[in-house]
A and B are shown apart, each in its own frame.
Chain A
Amino acid sequence: MNTIRNILILAGLGCAVVIAILLSVLTGPVDISLADILTGVVNDKTKELILFDIRMPRAIAAALVGAGLACAGAAMQTLFRNDLADPYTLGTSAGGAVGVSLAIISGVAMLVPVAAFCGAIGSAFLVYILAAQKKRLSTGNLLLTGIAVSMFFSSVVSVCLVLSGKNMHQIMFWLMGGLWNTSWADIPLLLITLIPAGILVLFSRDLNIMSCGEAETRTLGIDPEKTKLLLLGISAGITGLVVSVSGSIGFIGLVSPHIMRIITGPDHRVLIPASLGCGALLLVCADTISRTWLGDLPVGIVTAFFGAPFFLMLVRRRADL
């Protein structure tokens, strides 16, 4: 019963993502009709360019970024056994921002993606080193360390903002997160994020047990320290890649696993793929809205603007149960 229901949910989500991408490709300031696509478009070079080299890669990138953030978010929520954790709990967002700010200030804007990746991964690693004691990692320590490191890096970013002068808007835009620079070149990089997502599904039984509390994990045949490292590594890796492409887009990583947990339940075998689908769907929609009707506002603003009230609604409904 449950298995069939879950397969249907996953299939439905998959279809929804594909449809959302297609609709997104058809939507935008320049009118391109379905008929144009069906007839091959060819008669207009500009339209073809817009369709295949601008909208298409951007929609696919949005889907992959959304999926990556959702997967990293799910991993963090399991690690912390707390559904308020998100991909940025380890300071990845602030760390990435430091990298980006330094790159922009030193005038090597070319290196922004690399700097973002290094900053994000570096921050996660730093948090881990600071929080681990004698080969054991307490998630409480990890959470507090993450918060402290985030705050520290945020202040560094603020200093950079003050010093950046006319480049300030570049840093600001990165901080808000957006997909306006994406091209086909980013897609292979983003596709890599699906590999760790697959690994999480393979380890779903371990993750289920981990999410139920650490005390009994060892007697249930699991090494919690290894599992924590796996979750940390995967989450930091995905977040680093995603952030290097899109800047730090908020809310998707927090809200997607949350929504799916309400619909599919907490079993990671279903939760992880469902969160991927949900994150992809949400970000494709948000990005389409932003670039079509909101003058290409950074999509991070859109996700938070629509996401927050929606999330509140979910939380209130759940409290009634």
Chain B
Amino acid sequence: MNDIILEISDLSAGYEERDILQEISLFIREKSFVGIIGPNGSGKSTFMQVLARSLPVRNGDIVLMGDSLQSWSFRDFGKIVGYVPQESDIKFRYPVYNVVMMGRNPHIERFRSPSAADHEAVQKALQQTGTEELARRPITDLSGGERQRVMIARVLAQDPVLLLLDEPFAHIDIHHQYELIRIIRETSRDKRAVIGVFHDINLAAAYCDQLVLMNDGKIRAFGKPEEVLTTSLLKEVFRISPVIDVNPTTGTPYVYVEEKWKKSDGLKPRIHLISGGGTGSYLISLLSRSGYSLSCGVLAENDSDCLMARKYDIPTLTEPPFSRLSQETEEKLAELVQKADIVIVTSMPVGWGNYPNIRVLEQIDPHKILCILPSSEPYLPDFTSGVATDTIKRLLSNGAQKRSNPGELMEILQTTQIVNDS
């Protein structure tokens, strides 16, 4: 149990009369990287301020490396804990180098000058944060992102055992954001624990060992990113409808927010989409969100178009992968295309397995067929020795329309009057 450097039990704190933080209990192990996430006003920054001692503890205990937080002298406290507040607003024109050197203050004896080791630490921190070229410039002349990098340089020069970051990357561009978080994680693995408040849940999930989810001044959940980032917790705390995917570069959870789409309304034309191999995914999402009543198929069950259709809850005809269309499915398909006001065909790969999807179109009025195809041949990846392409050409010459991008398609749909069969 000796590897616990910070132990918080039953903490409450706040401003004036109101308790913002309540019943906070948490252990931080050394060399761990803990991210704090939560909605605005959930108490994340207040929590950081309490840990940095800029806000007093009202109730409960904070124990830092075996001693109560209050019992530490500020000088020794500064050797152990570093803090980057959300906003630091330096009004005087200190050169960047001097600002970073302030991080060494707890290590320099009073009335002594900075040693060679101190200068070395500052130099290294400037290098790590890419602020070397700014070293001689006044801090007041820098942009918001540059300033934040200087603040991170200062805390790296300070070299604390426990690092507190309050939304440190808010104004920093994506390149430096990833550069800095990697450096911070690396140094955390070597020697220090990091507690960071993150606005970006996915960034926190990708780099933190553990996440603390805060809500209403309390800790709602604490654990590994995949334990905390669950649909139900995110829905409850952030009031969003999350879709939790996997970040392809880190293998960590990745949270999307589901888009709200219009309910299909009966006034718009009914559309049947014939696609495959991902060529229809964008159309499925676009048409569904625009409120068209859509059907799809026939699609292979693992086709990405099929997954997309399922996400939007669209009636879809399916077959097991690589199998031929059964008689029964083909009949259902014929029925769907007959009922549709418009049938859209994409530039999908066609083999003998899904050729019936195209063949069925010869049974209906070619004027209600819309093909989204390249402007010139080959129209589609054809694995039927040209049979599918010939069918398409026949349809086009009989009156089917052809467009080369979905934007044009939307224009046509908006001007199409519903041809009422009845």
Closest to B90 in A: A212
CB–CB B54/A214 < 8 A? yes
CB–CB A209/B105 < 8 A? yes
One of B52, B74, B84, B111 near A202 (C-beta < 8 A):
B111
Q: How far is the CA of A136 from the CA of B74 in the complex (A)?
A: 15
> Which of A90-98, A216-224, A304-312 interfaces with chain B?
A216-224
Closest to B139 in A: A212
In the complex, chain A residues whose CB is within 8 Å of the CB of B111: 202
For the complex, is A275 an interface residue (Cβ under 8 Å from B)?
no
Assess A216 versus B105: contact at CB under 8 Å? Given A208-B98, A261-B93, A266-B93: no
One of A212, A214, A215 near B99 (C-beta < 8 A):
A212
CB–CB A215/B105 < 8 A? no
For the complex, is B83 an interface residue (Cβ under 8 Å from A)?
yes
Interface range on chain A: under 10, 10 to 19, 20 to 34, or 35 or more? 20 to 34
Which residues, 194 to 212 on A, are CB-close (under 8 Å) to B? 202, 205-206, 208-209, 211-212
CB–CB A221/B105 < 8 A? yes
For the complex, is A267 an interface residue (Cβ under 8 Å from B)?
yes
One of B95, B98, B103 near A220 (C-beta < 8 A):
B103
For the complex, is A265 an interface residue (Cβ under 8 Å from B)?
yes
Which residues, 71 to 113 on B, are CB-close (under 8 Å) to A? 74-75, 77-79, 81-85, 88-95, 98-99, 102-103, 105-106, 108, 111
For the complex, is A81 an interface residue (Cβ under 8 Å from B)?
yes
Q: How far is the CA of A265 from the CA of B49 in the complex (A)?
A: 30
CB–CB B52/A218 < 8 A? yes
For the complex, is A155 an interface residue (Cβ under 8 Å from B)?
no
For the complex, is A12 an interface residue (Cβ under 8 Å from B)?
no
CB–CB B94/A266 < 8 A? yes
One of B54, B82, B108 near A215 (C-beta < 8 A):
B54
For the complex, is B160 an interface residue (Cβ under 8 Å from A)?
yes
In the complex, chain A residues whose CB is within 8 Å of the CB of B52: 215-216, 218-219
Which residues, 158 to 176 on B, are CB-close (under 8 Å) to A? 158, 160, 164
Q: How far is the CA of A261 from the CA of B140 in the complex (A)?
A: 13
Question: Count the A-B residue pairs with Cβ separation under 8 angstroms: how many?
Answer: 86
One of A82, A221, A267 near B79 (C-beta < 8 A):
A221
In angstroms, how far is the closest chain A Cβ from the Cβ of B115? 14
Closest to B166 in A: A215
In the complex, chain A residues whose CB is within 8 Å of the CB of B108: 205
CB–CB B54/A218 < 8 A? yes
For the complex, is A213 an interface residue (Cβ under 8 Å from B)?
yes
What is the interface of chain B, defined by CB distance below 8 A to chain A?
A: 49, 52-54, 56, 74-75, 77-79, 81-85, 88-95, 98-99, 102-103, 105-106, 108, 111, 138, 158, 160, 164
What is the interface of chain A, defined by CB distance below 8 A to chain B?
A: 81-83, 134, 136, 202, 205-206, 208-209, 211-216, 218-223, 261, 265-267
Extra 16 A-B pairs, beta carbons < 8 Å, given A221-B78, A222-B78: A202-B111, A205-B108, A209-B102, A213-B85, A213-B90, A215-B85, A216-B83, A216-B84, A219-B52, A219-B77, A219-B83, A219-B164, A220-B105, A221-B77, A221-B79, A221-B106
